[in-house]
Structure 1
Amino acid sequence: MTETQRKIGLLACLVTIVLAVLDTQIVSAASFPIVHDLDPDHGVVDISWLASAFSLASAAMLPLYGRLCDALGAKRVFLGALATFLTGSALCGAARSIDWLIASRALQGVGGGGLMSVTMVVIAQLKDPGEKKNKGAGIGGIIGGGGMAVGPWLGGFLADHASWRWAFYINLPLGIAALAAGVVVLKLPRHTTSRAIDFTGAALAAAFSTALLLITQWGGKQYAWTSPQILGLALAFLGALTLFLRRQFTAAEPILPPSLFRVPELRLGFAIQGLMGAAMVGAMYYVLVYLQLARHVNSSAAGLYLIPMAAGIMAVGVATGRLGERGWSERTFVLSGSAVTTAAFLLLATTGTHTSLWQLRGALLLVGLGFGQLLGQLIQLVQQAAPGHQLGVATTAIRFFQTLGMALGVALFGSLIDRLYDGPGDVGSLAALRGAARTAGVTAYVSAMDTVFLCGAGVMTLCLLLALRLPKARPVAAERQPEKTLAA
């Protein structure tokens, strides 16, 4: 590929990352306008599925996408995922019922899982042969993190000033342009690896990840933690996970090869990414709840408070490139990012019912500065350490572990809030309280929330300890044998 083709290909990849990340968040702020339009009488019952259908389908497909990349080539899989995502977007925008919209969101999620993982494989293969580091992977991670922060605000803005349908239609012109660019300019290598695909392993991975996500979606909300539904899902999760692990040691071409975990950078990188995912969802979710519950900020305006976090992530994206040229390694960034994020959570843990909102913005800026270092550099760390013929599975695996970490973070932090809350009624009835009862309830909730942020600091401290175990230097090229490739 020429230098111009590389730049066009990278731009197409970055556009698809933005679209995929926005669509995981954008619906949260537009949910009530959607329900009011499609089914004002009964739609609120299914409102959670607008986000869940996307995330469940996306997570279930992640392991399979990695193996498909290694077997068929990243270009084909990237274009297929993008086409699927755009088809789902068009159907979402044209939806005439809640059921239609939920089914279309699931189709969107099937494609979206590829956009957030396969795109990173494409970016890695777009790296100029003369580049020592894959700067594109860092940029992609940063843009993805920024999109997570901006998504809720954009969804609220479109719902308030245009139509909720534009939350989906906005994908089409940008996505079609990226698809056309990918068809024309991408010329990527394809390793001469086996084309065998372990669909049994992929199905088991989809089964246990879906069960886990449903547990976190329903547990303590729609069903009690000890209900037959949740206990049944827990048994299904354990059974599918056990069969999946057994399959990975016996399959000829496993979806998640155990050999990856023998590489320290991959083993530790997967663990740090999962823990970071748990902490990130806690930071974003509970700050938004605090603003709406304790400070009476509406949902659209609450999303604006995440902009300092996005600004921090973007600022780090600029700084890491220059610091990398001066000798900072991925290990250094992971250590620094973990330490900064730990400090940010400790600051969030001091939040009270009358804390200055500027202090809160400052804490979120610090969160962005910490997460920004982790989001881009962990991907680069994993891609540089992964064997060339397993680049696809290694890249999608790190995204898969982040997804599972976010699911566990939602469940564990939510359970912790429920247990620590000692105000009137329960957490679910807080919005209905009035007068002195509401004041007492909000105070109790904020106190419990501070403990959650302390736990987030503990999670990031564990990330810091794991980062200390990363090898200080690794001659990547020496560990990879030259491999024959085919133009895809």
Structure 2
Amino acid sequence: MTTRTPSEAASEKAGTTTTGTAGATTDTAGATTAKRRARPSRPRSPAHRRIGIALCLATIVLAVLDMNIVSAATVPIARDLDPDGGLAKIPWLVSSFQLAATAALPLYGKLSDSLGAKRVFLAALGTFLTGSALCGLARNMTELIAARALQGIGGGGLMSITLVVVRLIATAPVRATGDHEHTGTGTGTGTSTGSGTGTGTGSGGGQRGAGVGGVMAGAGMALGPWIGGLLTEHLGWRWIFYVNLPVGIVVLIGAVLFLDLPGHPVRQSVDYLGAALAAAFATTLLLVLEWGGGRYPWASPELLGLVLAVCCLLGLFLWRQATAAEPVLPLGLFRKRALRLSFVVQGLVGVAMTVTIVYVMIYLQAARRVEAASAGLQLLPMAIGMGLSGLLAGRLGGPARRTVVTGTLCAAVALTLLGTSSADSSLWWLRGELLLAGTGFGMLIGRLLQYGQEQAPPGQLGVTTTAIRFFQTLGGALGASLFGSLLNRLTEGSAGGGRDGAGHGAEAGLGLVQSIDVVFFSVAGLLLLATALALRLPAPHPAAGTPATGTATVRRTPSAR
């Protein structure tokens, strides 16, 4: 027996007949299950959709740029705010944003699924802008580090929730008009009026939205040091933070006016204890890698105590996620082989991207003595490669496994070639290697995100997206710390040289270059591991319980004519 929905009855009264596959949205929330029909979203015009996606992409660029934009201005900032001891605080200035963003990521996903993506998006954007203003007003390094942490809390939400918003906008119904029969393939219910106006959604929009969002995030990482160097050189370092305010305020106003997201969030209890344990675990782990072998020897009581704390916090976090009614990172996500493998591959890609950007900058500035702004400009081919390959991969489609395997192999070849660099290698050759690396990374960032979102369990799009971003961000932070320690160890015996290239002239520079080459070769090995894992990715298919995808054909009956 077929039961007509109110929309179908209204459509029939208007003189139309609608046939298709329609699905009700089911939201599953851990132990307590609530099923309710999603709030029908109003059909939006294509222009309205484009405005919403443009606002989101601008937000992603702001957040990701600020993760790396400070790297080109650390020395001028330290000299201005604390000429005597500022250089010793630079590591905290660089890592405070990433620490806070990584720690806050798990909470944002659950808040998005519970309170709605728009509310959480606006709150994260407001926090980010407040932190940006306080960074620009900082009077000393301590204030700046604290403001960077606040900025990172907001930035962590923007890097994850914005991708959820992009997905929701791209898959929302779009209004189309015409006098002809309208046939479309999409998700949800197709409706039509007698005037020939129809609505439909397609999975392609969601794929392109997620893919473009991921590519913009990666390109922002590559362009951050260059933009930071330009602003510092021409306007002063405070404008690195002030430039966020006018752009962010425009996005904030536009989001209030134009973002009308489909679906209806199910009110759930939020596992704040689990979020606190995740934040404590991530922060303590990064501190171990940041301090190990530097501030404290690896076998020192202080560091061993931190390692013990990491193990205890991880155990408590896993226990909490297994017992909480509404976990921030449901362990059920890891039961799906597709998500489990994509999380690991995403983490390895995060390591590779961060290490490539950071250590190419070190190579150029310390070994080649290139100025900060000029060194950042050398990363432009990487950003171009990421943008072009990411957009092409999104438009051409194809199996996710093939795209990810191709991307990891391209990046692995590029890192291997970077590992052959010498102190007098051609910069044009370096640009070609970075272009190839960007081409590989561009295939990975957006496609992996889209693949994970396709596998998200019903009602858990937010936590799945933030889990993907969490592993990528954590991988980047861990990679920077691990390979930083490796580089320090390799350069300790290189003619008395160090990371800054200081030592006995050419011998120190040669030792630094050789140590950086070892880092690049090591990362190439990790990318080959990512390739092996990507070969095991199962073919993507919608998770059980998600709205069905079918073909809806809308015909106007004779009475409508």
Residue 284 of structure 1 corresponds to 357
- Residue 264 (structure 1) aligns with: 337
2:282 is matched with 209
Structure 1 position 22 matched with structure 2 position 65: yes
Quick check: 2:63–2:158 contact (8 Å CA) kept in 1?
yes
Question: What is residue 178 of structure 2 aligned with on the other side?
Answer: none
**What is the match of residue 486 of structure 1?**
none
Structure richer in strand, relative to its length:
2
Q: 2:189: which partner in 1?
A: none
Judge conservation of contact 2:454–2:540 (CA < 8 Å) in 1. Answer: no
- Give the superposed CA RMSD: 1.7
After TM superposition, the score normalised by the length of structure 1 is 0.93
1:236 matches 2:309:
yes
Structure 1 segments, 4+ long, off by >6 Å, are none
Secondary structure class of the residue paired with 1:315? helix
- Residues 332 and 191 of structure 1: is their aligned pair in 2 closer, same or farther, counting only changes over 3 Å? farther
**Correspondence 1:223 to 2:266:** no
1:453 partner amino acid: F
Supply the distance in 2 between the matched residues of 1:191 and 1:412 (Cα, whole angstroms).
43
Q: Please, which runs of 5 or more residues in structure 1 have no aligned partner?
A: 483-488
Aligned to 2:414: 344
- Distance in 2, Cα, partners of 1:412 & 1:101: 25
How many pairs were matched up?
Answer: 474
In 1, Cα distance between equivalents of 2:487 and 2:255: 46
Among 350, 355, 361, the alignment partner of 2:431 is 361
Cα distance in 2 for partners of 1:444, 1:227 equals: 28
Indicate the residue corresponding to 2:539 in structure 1: 472
| Shift, 1:193, TM fit | 3.4
Deviates more, 1:457-466 or 1:276-285: 276-285
How many Å separate the matches in 2 of 1:418 and 1:165?
Answer: 31
Partner of 2:457 in structure 1?
387
Q: Whose helix proportion is higher, 1 or 2?
A: 1
Identical aligned residues as a percent: 54
Q: Which residue of 1 aligns with 2:166?
A: 123
Q: Tell me, yes or no, if the aligned pair for 1:63 and 1:393 is still in contact at 8 Å.
A: yes
Q: Which residue of 1 aligns with 2:131?
A: 88
The partner residue of 2:498 within 423, 427, 441 is 427
Amino acid corresponding to residue 480 of structure 1 in structure 2: T
Name the counterpart of 2:95: 52
CA contact (8 A) 1:383 1:394 kept: yes
Which protein has the larger Cα radius of gyration, Structure 1 or Structure 2? Answer: 2
Q: TM-score, normalised by structure 2?
A: 0.81
| Equivalent in the alignment of 1:459 | 526
Higher mean alpha-carbon deviation, 234-243 vs 417-426, is at: 417-426
Correspondence for 1:485: none
Matches within 5 A, 1:323-342: 323-324=396-397, 328-342=398-412
Residues 1:192 and 1:291: Cα distance change in structure 2 (over 3 Å) = closer
Cα displacement (A) at 1:16: 0.6
State the SS of the aligned residue for 1:116: helix
Distance change (3 Å), C-alpha of 1:65 and 1:473: closer
Map residues 126-137 of structure 1 onto 2, 5 A cutoff: 126-128=169-171, 129=173, 130-133=201-204, 134=206, 135-137=208-210
* 140-149 vs 222-231, which moves further: 222-231
Q: Distance in 2 between matches of 1:200 and 1:352?
A: 50
The one-character-per-residue Cα deviations of 1:261-292 (angstroms, maximum 9, x if unpaired) are 12222111100010111111221122111112
Residues 63-104 of structure 1 show CA distances to partners (whole Å, capped at 9, x for unaligned) of: 000110011110100000001111111111122222222221
Conserved in 2, the CA contact under 8 Å of 1:70 and 1:190? no
Secondary structure in structure 1 of the residue aligned to 2:307: helix
The code of the aligned residue for 2:459 comes to H
Aligned twin of 1:245: 318
Would the aligned equivalents of 1:219 and 1:411 in 2 still touch at CA under 8 Å? no
The amino acid across from 1:446 in the alignment is V
Deviates more, 1:417-426 or 1:287-296: 417-426
Structure 1 contact 74–190 (Cα < 8 Å) conserved = no
